[in-house]
Amino acid sequence: MLELKNVSWKLEEEDKWILRDINLKVQKGERLVLTGPNGGGKTTLARVIAGLREGAEGEIWLDGQRIDGLDITGRARAGLGYAFQQPVRFKGVTVEELMQMAAGEQCSREELCHLLSQVGLCARDYLGREVGNGLSGGEIKRVEIATVLARKPRAAVFDEPEAGIDLWSFDKLIQVFGDRDRWPGALVLISHQRRLMEVADTIGVVCQGRLVDIGPREQMLPRLFGEKSGQCPWDGGND
């Protein structure tokens, strides 16, 4: 289980709180989708969980282990996965090498191929390619997701996994995120896509740095998509 207790984070340069008192629990096998207006703090929250933003207040627990005192590596080794919203490109690192780093020595080439095929990539064509400018935005995004899946994390945060991905690969991703037998960890998906929300058990709304609403999918979808005003109903407009 991934649990956040009163997590806050302040942008020191501007003396501004970006996240305030976030509390949530994601059980093993649970899919939580976090949505909300742009600039509401979702990506910052994902980065705080993964350890990419230092100086956060509050507590983060993973399967009974407190991890907020650990650095990025420590959290990864504790079983936390994190997929970047904008994947990183590398010079001289191939898809296979990156996948092997992610999986560790126990992962065979066949397993890597299978993981890549799950995100819609034909492994034979991709394993030897550099994770660099030769890959399109959608391709590198799928490699990014595959590296997280390769780690078989206890809990993982995917920041807008659908961004830049074509319709057919998106279908495969939805299957992956929905397959609780194959991927039994706790998953946090940051997304604006209704189709991803439909595989969620729970949906939360992050707005102005706060978790302003959270509940079961069946309750949250009508609230999110029943609103016709064109405005986020939780966004009061005050900073």
Binding positions for another protein, rule: CB under 8 A: 50, 52, 71-73, 76-77, 81-82, 84, 87-88, 90-93, 97-98, 101-102, 104, 147, 151
CA distance 4 to 83: 19
If the CB atoms of residues 86 and 174 are measured against another protein, the closer one turns out to be: 86
If the CB atoms of residues 15 and 105 are measured against another protein, the closer one turns out to be: 105
CA distance 148 to 143: 9
Give me the least distance between CB of 50 and another protein, in Å please.
6
Give me the least distance between CB of 115 and another protein, in Å please.
14
If the CB atoms of residues 83 and 199 are measured against another protein, the closer one turns out to be: 83
If the CB atoms of residues 157 and 207 are measured against another protein, the closer one turns out to be: 157
Burial track 111-125 (b if 16+ CB lie within 10 A, e otherwise): ebbebbebbbbebee
Burial label, 147 (beta-carbon count in 10 A; 0-12, 13-18, 19+): buried
- The β-bridge partners of 57 are 8
Give me the least distance between CB of 45 and another protein, in Å please.
16
CA distance 204 to 90: 34
If the CB atoms of residues 71 and 125 are measured against another protein, the closer one turns out to be: 71
Give me the least distance between CB of 138 and another protein, in Å please.
18
CA distance 128 to 119: 17
CA distance 6 to 70: 17
Give me the least distance between CB of 236 and another protein, in Å please.
33
Q: Is residue 81 within 8 Å of residue 155, measured between CB atoms?
A: yes
Of residues 29, 12, 144, the one with CA closest to residue 90: 144
Contacts of 110 (CB under 8 A, 6+ apart): none
Give me the least distance between CB of 145 and another protein, in Å please.
13
If the CB atoms of residues 21 and 85 are measured against another protein, the closer one turns out to be: 85
Give me the least distance between CB of 52 and another protein, in Å please.
6
Quick one: tokens of 237?
Answer: 């407009």
If the CB atoms of residues 21 and 97 are measured against another protein, the closer one turns out to be: 97
CA distance 186 to 26: 6
